[in-house]
Structure 1
Amino acid sequence: MAEPPAAGLAGHLDPAPEHLHALSVACGLELSSFRAPHVARTVDRAVARLGAAGPAGLAAAIATDPGLRARFRRAVAVSTTGMFRDPAQFDLLDRLMREGDRRGRPLRVWSIGASDGSELCSVALLLAGQDGLQGATLLGSDLLPENVELARQRSRDRLHPEALSTVRFEQRDVARTAPAGPWDVVLCRNVLIHLAPAAKQAMLDHAAGALSAGGLLVLGRSERLPRDDRRGLDDAGANAYRRPA
């Protein structure tokens, strides 16, 4: 289904660059990296909720209210997650990780858009069920430092000490940089759908480029690599791709 046009959003959003720039400065996120309709809807809802005087009024409010700024940032970054979210994908991931030939190496997993850490904690529990935690490296990256802190706190509540010792979280804009690889599994689920084309392509470049030989890239249920641009990856299942060994 096509996105509704930004111009129809209750008349609040002025697409003038100076307003989006002011909002970017106020919230600490580069809004041009996100899809324009998504930003428009987020701004429109925030303006309506606050009764602000359009985007300029919203920018002023965000700049002076830390709680409002945090709420707006999480809405833009769509920090929605949950343990074992999309169970069918975790069933597939469980099978693919068991089938992978790591030649005795501990598994390295990178979760992009880690949010509160639920995805990475779910992977840790999967590996515990496979007796695959020893020596494993599980990294969660998120654009928002407040999400990173939340993920660190919640992982302590969710994981036993052995699993917790394998998990770490960092703040990172993956459209700009990637952590040192290679990675056996890269999870980039429900992130790309919210990004502007240039940021999306940059993130895919980093995600696919970080894979080890035989490594897996797992996207969200509504995200797919185009057949004419698989970045050297083969189909490995629904929304999953593998770099040839």
Structure 2
Amino acid sequence: MNARLALDRLLESQTGIEVTRGGIDASVDAFLARRLNELKLVSLEDYLPRLSAQSGELEVLLNAITVTHTWFMRDPGQLSIVSSLLERREPAGPPLRVWVPGCATGEDPYSIAMLAEQASRAVEVLGSDINSAALRRAAAGVYGSWSVRDIIDVERYFERGERSTFNIAPRLKRHVRFERHNLLEPVLPGDWDLVLCRNVLIYLSRERARGVVERLAEALAPGGYLLLGASEVVFEVPQQLEATYVAGRLALRRVAGSAKMRAVPPAASSLVARAPGRAWEAPLPALPRSAVDIAEHRPPAAAPSPSPGVDSLLTRGHDHLDRSELPEAIIEYELAAELDPTRAEPHMYLGIALYLNGALEAALHELRAAVFLDAALWPAAFYLAVCHEGLGQLEEAQREYRHVVRVAARGAGPSLPRRHSAWHDDLLDLARKRAGSAA
């Protein structure tokens, strides 16, 4: 077997990580080039035997390639769920017990401690990660200015350190602890009121991600909540979880009194199966195209695809969507999003198809993921606004319409198929009108 393929399979079997996701393969290449030289090894074949669980070399590799990109108060809209859960508890009651798997350098756990202080509620937070180097940084609680950029009152939560660093206040550190943990292993003990696992599943294979969600569901106390990242899609929700909304955002809740059981995969696409039965009329035709567009559209024969397979799935989805075959389009877009969950376009088109099929809540989830992955993809923000309108969330809708106008005014725009070129002008014109901006 090819040595690099053997390494990739080892990583997937031990951690669930697929190196083709999120640019991890480039990190692996850079690490190997440096590490082989450090160890004075001639080839990758010489390095592989060192990756036994007992040697510690696998830990060195994981510390180098796993993603630790995060910051304080990331995605405040989702953190409003945490604030809402804290405010529901009695001030003198037991602490909210929170587990943050994949916590990286600790910004999310400490953010929760800050929210608890703001709400005058007790909290106990456990942050875990497979990256031991990141956990050491988390336990130290020393951060740079980039990590704290979204905190308004920095002096309230940090002490100034040397060389423009910020040290977490000791009173916050008392509520947070850290532990190394591999999400493929049994869950950490404790009936958790909240599990916040953001931007972890996007690096795992679909089967591994499904197993992780099952285990996280079992770790919840009855009535506890599981929150995932904006760019993550749950294709198979375990039976003991139900989708609900807290503070206007999607959450998965452990059904009170549910037995611990394994998830049963649905017979068909889970998102299609959960779509509500009522129809919803789009403000514009779905994705208009003309016979001229079809005749003139010829993909360049020699152009390499950055994500093999995704483009063909998107094309098939577009064909179904243009024929108003919404369930079929949803399936194609789901497959494209699964194949490359870090690419924004599959999430955007899946969100549009779900919206047209009447599944506004599910559409919101996908469209938020698209905007999170590519802020310049303003058609996703447009349909996000339309979904908010349909749900009666007019303030959120206005915010998204204004975002569309701002992005378009900067000249930033998506690179989408020719068949959708006329669609852009129509959406932008409508966004300007609804945002109250002059065309």
Task: Using structure 2 for the length normalisation, give the TM-score.
Answer: 0.43
What whole-Å deviation, never above 9, does each CA across 1:133-182 have from its counterpart, x for those lacking one? 3xx32100101111111110126964323321111100010221211110
Is 1:35 paired with 2:18? Answer: yes
State the distance in 2 between where 1:226 and 1:29 align.
Answer: 20
Is 1:210 paired with 2:219? Answer: yes
**Kindly, what percent of the aligned residue pairs are identical?**
27
Query: For 1:84, which of 73, 85, 90 is the aligned residue?
Result: 73
Where do residues 20-31 of structure 1 align in structure 2 (5 Å cutoff)? Answer: 20-22=5-7, 30=13
User: What secondary structure, in the 3-state scheme, does the structure 1 residue paired with 2:20 have?
Assistant: helix
Task: Using structure 1 for the length normalisation, give the TM-score.
Answer: 0.73
State the distance in 1 between where 2:71 and 2:81 align.
Answer: 17
CA drift at 1:114:
0.9
Report if the CA contact (8 A) 1:46-1:58 is conserved. Answer: no
Report if the CA contact (8 A) 2:24-2:66 is conserved. Answer: no
Alignment-derived partner of residue 242 in structure 1: 253
What whole-Å deviation, never above 9, does each CA across 1:1-58 have from its counterpart, x for those lacking one? xxxxxxxxxxxxxxx5642434677xx885672125228x4334654795999xx956
The one-letter code matched in structure 1 to 2:242 is: L
In the superposition, relative to structure 1, how do residues 192 and 59 fare at CA in structure 2: closer, same or farther (>3 Å)? farther
The one-letter code matched in structure 2 to 1:244 is: V
Report if the CA contact (8 A) 2:129-2:181 is conserved. Answer: yes
Report if the CA contact (8 A) 1:20-1:31 is conserved. Answer: no
Where do residues 143-182 of structure 1 align in structure 2 (5 Å cutoff)? Answer: 143-154=130-141, 158-182=167-191
In the superposition, relative to structure 1, how do residues 197 and 128 fare at CA in structure 2: closer, same or farther (>3 Å)? same
Between structure 1 and structure 2, the one with the greater Rg is 2
State the distance in 2 between where 1:52 and 1:147 align.
Answer: 19
Alignment-derived partner of residue 302 in structure 2: none
Unaligned runs of 5+ in 1: 1-15, 64-68
In the superposition, relative to structure 1, how do residues 31 and 96 fare at CA in structure 2: closer, same or farther (>3 Å)? same
Alignment-derived partner of residue 82 in structure 2: 93
Report if the CA contact (8 A) 2:8-2:18 is conserved. Answer: no
In the superposition, relative to structure 1, how do residues 152 and 24 fare at CA in structure 2: closer, same or farther (>3 Å)? farther
Alignment-derived partner of residue 105 in structure 1: 94
CA drift at 1:126:
0.4
Report if the CA contact (8 A) 2:27-2:65 is conserved. Answer: no
State the distance in 1 between where 2:27 and 2:125 align.
Answer: 36
In the superposition, relative to structure 1, how do residues 46 and 162 fare at CA in structure 2: closer, same or farther (>3 Å)? closer
Higher relative contact order (CA 8 A, sep 6+): 1
